[in-house]
């Protein structure tokens, strides 16, 4: 190719030249043994891999990437795998969410700075999915997602146990004296017995479902177990498809439309999905330039029935969900509520993809006329305690607590909570409202999954299993309970949550979407004048994050990352 001629594809700006620069780009690639013809006009497909041994859910991605490569080669493309920061929910401290935006920057700049025409995103554990979508959306190249798949069902003493959900249940049983420490330890190797991500409808499975509902993957992406060879088949088909997407110039912006996000919100309600999907989809929409607000979640999804009987809201697990028909079966059931003409990554509309999707087990996937739970989407609460909004997942809550008024028992931060929650002298009973501060985006920092506070033993010993809990934190998608989350503005930003004191009365009324602190305005003003912001981090990523992170109702992205920059070819490197 003439060095002055505009390239047909991005990669030709690297490999298509016949001058010194073209020599450099091609020659150094050839040290890996690649023949010349692979660099001579083929679409270059970047495989964005979040494999890491420190991210157990993504530990099989090296193998999965090889199947993607097969498909790319079969379709006439040239696959090149590259690593990006991997975010493991179970190991990374203080919280993987602190690094979601950092990983998205890694993805964005890796794509933009390299000779890539199209991208396959390999994602699994909770934050790897939104971070990859966010970074890729900022570049807006032809892109397709491939999730790693859930683990097989956990098995413990003749019963199924689910990731996370079983941990929360059994740990409370230990604290209540209903389970021995020995049995609790024995369950560790029984819960997670295969490769893959959480097999409950936690955040990983929720976000895999969001990828499919958005149209950013091939059908069936959400639920095929990681250990099932059909996951490898899907990987190979994904590799084939991305080459065709490059030829069609089917970019993310053509798929991630307003209609696609509305479809995802309604799908999240129908599957009983994680509250974490709220902040993640708001952030992805912000990157691609689609207007989306917290109120859209309530308006579009709150009245959608939950059709899927899965933990933590129900009984079954993701393996059962796949055998029952998976997400296509759910999408077919709620098709009248969806924008069926929304384009998807396989080039067909969402409606075409699910028109004949079968359901094989009505115990797992219900119908709208006989739902697992009615009107079970995310509810958005407002009031003086959350003027910019807070969220609750009614399907995971106790019905009798959805309208409640109680005395606040306040914990200033997570250390204060851990120091006092097991104290027999703690002045608390089941009618109280537990309040946790300084766990939001700035306060933790990173908005950790600590919102589902364990109950005090003095309450557990009475047989009580749920209380109203309020915080500016998130909670694991595998968790459950009457938990109000994402309170905005957060305490560390001077939100009203920072002003709550022990003994204050708080009213929760989910039906009226109300979250109210019964303290006079003049008293709140007096407390606000006395409030001091917590000390800010002094260096590094923590400092950059705290200075620029947006509040939860905006998706907790960094303010300077909102909006798409595209993927114009940068200037030459030498």
Distance CA 287, CA 108 (A): 11
Q: How far is CA 218 from the centre of its chain?
A: 18
In DSSP terms, 316 is beta-bridged to: 310
In DSSP terms, 49 is beta-bridged to: 83, 122
Q: What is the pLDDT of residue 386?
A: 98
Helix, strand, or coil (residue 386): coil
What average pLDDT does the segment 189-208 reach?
94
Distance CA 351, CA 343 (A): 9
CB 50 within 8 A of CB 137: no
Q: What are phi and psi of 62, to 5 degrees?
A: -60, -45
Tell me the pLDDT band of 376, cut-offs 50, 70 and 90.
confident
Which CATH code fits 379-534?
A: 3.50.30.80
Q: What is the pLDDT of residue 548?
A: 98
What average pLDDT does the segment 49-72 reach?
97
Could you report the per-residue pLDDT of 478-527, keeping only the tens digit for each?
788 999 999 999 999 999 999 999 999 999 999 999 999 999 999 999 99
Q: Which of 59, 77, 164 is nearest to 122 (CA)?
A: 59
Share of the chain above pLDDT 90, in %: 91
Q: What is the pLDDT of residue 484?
A: 98
Could you report the per-residue pLDDT of 252-272, keeping only the tens digit for each?
999 999 999 999 999 999 999
CA R_g for the chain: 24
Q: What is the pLDDT of residue 1?
A: 46
Torsion angle (degrees, nearest 10) of CA 355, 361, 362, 364: -100
Distance CA 538, CA 544 (A): 9
Q: Which of 162, 34, 50 is nearest to 106 (CA)?
A: 50
Tell me the pLDDT band of 7, cut-offs 50, 70 and 90.
low
Tell me the pLDDT band of 476, cut-offs 50, 70 and 90.
confident
- In the chain, what are the domain boundaries? 154-193, 379-534
- State the helix-helix crossing angle for 276-288 and 258-271, rounded to 10 degrees: 170
Could you report the per-residue pLDDT of 320-374, keeping only the tens digit for each?
999 999 999 999 999 999 999 999 999 999 999 999 999 999 999 999 999 999 8
Q: What is the pLDDT of residue 246?
A: 98
Could you report the per-residue pLDDT of 290-308, keeping only the tens digit for each?
999 999 999 999 889 999 9
Helix, strand, or coil (residue 510): coil
Q: How far is CA 246 from the centre of its chain?
A: 27
Q: How many CA atoms lie within 13 A of 188 on its CB side?
A: 5
Q: Which of 372, 341, 365, 371 is nearest to 355 (CA)?
A: 341
């Amino acid at each position: 190719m003439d060095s002055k001629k505009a390239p047909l594809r991005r990669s030709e700006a690297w490999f298509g030249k016949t001058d010194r620069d073209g020599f450099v780009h091609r020659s150094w690639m050839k040290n890996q043994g690649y023949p010349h013809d692979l660099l001579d006009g083929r679409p270059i497909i970047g495989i964005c891999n979040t494999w890491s041994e420190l991210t157990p859910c993504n530990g099989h991605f090296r193998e999965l990437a090889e199947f993607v490569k097969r498909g790319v080669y079969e379709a006439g493309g040239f696959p090149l795998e590259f690593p990006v920061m991997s975010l493991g929910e179970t190991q990374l401290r203080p919280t993987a969410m602190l690094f979601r935006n950092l990983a998205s920057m890694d993805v964005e700049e890796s794509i933009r700075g390299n000779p890539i025409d199209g991208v396959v995103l390999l994602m699994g554990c909770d934050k790897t999915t939104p971070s990859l979508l966010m970074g890729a959306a900022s570049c807006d190249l032809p892109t397709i997602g491939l999730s790693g798949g859930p683990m097989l069902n956990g098995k413990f003493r003749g019963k199924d146990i689910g990731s996370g959900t079983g941990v929360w249940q059994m740990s409370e049983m230990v604290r209540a004296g209903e389970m021995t420490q020995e049995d609790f330890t024995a369950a560790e190797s029984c819960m997670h017995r295969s490769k893959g991500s959480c097999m409950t409808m936690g955040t990983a499975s929720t976000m895999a479902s969001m990828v499919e509902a958005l149209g950013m993957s091939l059908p069936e992406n959400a639920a095929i177990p990681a250990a099932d060879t059909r996951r490898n088949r899907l990987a190979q088909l994904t590799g084939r498809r991305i080459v065709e997407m490059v030829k069609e110039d089917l970019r993310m912006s053509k798929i991630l439309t307003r209609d696609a996000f509305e479809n995802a919100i309604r799908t999240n309600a129908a599957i009983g999905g994680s509250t974490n999907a709220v902040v993640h989809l708001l952030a992805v929409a912000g990157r691609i330039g689609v207007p989306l607000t917290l109120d859209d979640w309530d308006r579009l999804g709150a009245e959608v029935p939950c059709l899927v009987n899965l933990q933590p809201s129900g009984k079954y697990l993701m393996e059962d969900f796949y055998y029952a028909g998976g997400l296509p079966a759910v999408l077919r059931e709620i098709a009248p509520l969806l924008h069926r003409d929304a384009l998807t990554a396989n080039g067909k509309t969402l409606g075409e993809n699910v028109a004949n999707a079968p359901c094989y087990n009505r115990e797992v996937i219900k119908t709208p006329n006989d739902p697992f739970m009615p009107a079970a989407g995310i509810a958005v609460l407002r009031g003086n305690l959350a003027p910019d909004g807070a969220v609750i997942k009614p399907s995971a809550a106790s019905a009798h607590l959805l309208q409640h008024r109680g005395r606040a028992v306040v914990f200033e931060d997570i250390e204060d909570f851990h120091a006092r929650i097991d104290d027999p002298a703690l002045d608390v009973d089941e009618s109280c409202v537990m309040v946790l501060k300084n766990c939001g985006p700035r306060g933790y920092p990173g908005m950790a999954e600590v919102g589902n506070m364990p109950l005090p033993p003095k309450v557990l010993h009475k047989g009580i299993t749920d209380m109203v809990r309020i915080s500016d934190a998130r909670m694991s998608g595998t968790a459950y309970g009457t938990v109000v989350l994402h309170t905005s503005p957060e305490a560390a930003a001077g939100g009203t949550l920072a002003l709550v004191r022990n003994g204050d009365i708080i009213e929760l009324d989910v039906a009226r979407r109300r979250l109210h602190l019964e303290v006079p305005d003049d008293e709140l003003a007096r407390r606000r004048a006395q409030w001091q912001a917590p000390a800010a981090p002094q260096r590094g990523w923590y400092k950059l994050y705290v200075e620029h992170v947006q509040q939860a109702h905006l998706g907790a992205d960094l303010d300077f990352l909102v909006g798409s920059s595209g993927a114009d070819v940068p200037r030459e490197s030498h």
